[in-house]
Amino acid sequence: MTRPDHSAFAHACEERVQGAHFVPARAPEAGNEAHAVVRLVLPYPISSNRYWRPVRIGNHITIVPTKEAKAYRSEVSTLATRAMVTPMAGRLAMTLRLFPDRPLDWAKRARKDPDTWADSVRCIDLGNCEKVLSDALNGIAWQDDKQLHSIALVRCEPDDRGARVEVEIAPLVVERVAPELFA
């Protein structure tokens, strides 16, 4: 059975700076090396509507990344490279926490509707966020996005640290149930 561990993101939002760092996922087991969890704090992603554009090549139309998409990919690549992120192998779990920009009138909104004030804040949808980030991290944090076997998406309330997306990528640990049955 494959179980992702998303508990690291279950806690309240911690103060982080833009960049990345590694933490150990678990202690080494007999015959297995320890895996690392990659945590990245990246710029707020562009909308997928602005990520791709159609281009006519001969008699057909193909979809290519825009200049804005290439700039975003380059920024993500630079931040990941500075943090010494290398492509992970195997099945992976990814958790994205999307923080929209906090509007200037956030306190007024919060007083008026304390429980759901953030629902009216302008924010790209989570599916859009996931697609843009998966594309930007392809070949940087993993070899191919088909390695992603578990994806968790969370939209967070805006805070004073600005618009951003926090990404956690971890190897999926396969728990073998009664391995002697398959020997």
What's the rounded Cα separation, in Å, for the pair 148 and 135? 12
- Give the pLDDT score at 13: 37
Angle at 98 between CA 46 and CA 144, to 5 degrees: 70
Q: Residue 69's pLDDT band (boundaries 50, 70, 90)?
A: very high
- Cβ contacts of 29 within 8 Å, gap of 6 or more: none
Query: Which of 30-34, 39-43, 105-109, 113-117 is least confident?
Result: 30-34
Q: Residue 11's pLDDT band (boundaries 50, 70, 90)?
A: very low
Greatest Cα pair distance, the chain, in angstroms, is 64
Please spell the DSSP secondary structure of 95-117, one letter per residue. Answer: EEEEEPPPPTTHHHHHHH-TTTG
Judge contact between 97 and 9, C-beta under 8 A: yes
Please say if the pLDDT value at position 105 is more than 60.
yes
pLDDT, tens digit (0-9, with 9 covering 90-100), for 120-154: 999 999 999 999 999 999 999 999 989 999 999 99
Please say if the pLDDT value at position 78 is more than 90.
yes
- Give the pLDDT score at 83: 87
Strand arrangement of the beta sheet that strand 164-171 belongs to: 19-24, 36-43, 164-171, 92-99, 148-155
Of residues 2 and 158, more confidence is placed in 158
Task: Output the CA torsion sign for 42, 43, 44, 45.
Answer: negative
Q: Residue 35's pLDDT band (boundaries 50, 70, 90)?
A: low
Domains and CATH numbers, the chain: 2-182 (3.30.1330.70)
Please say if the pLDDT value at position 7 is more than 60.
no
How does the average pLDDT of the chain come out, rounded? 82
- Give the pLDDT score at 183: 65
Does the pTM exceed 0.85? no
Task: Output the CA torsion sign for 106, 110, 112, 117.
Answer: positive
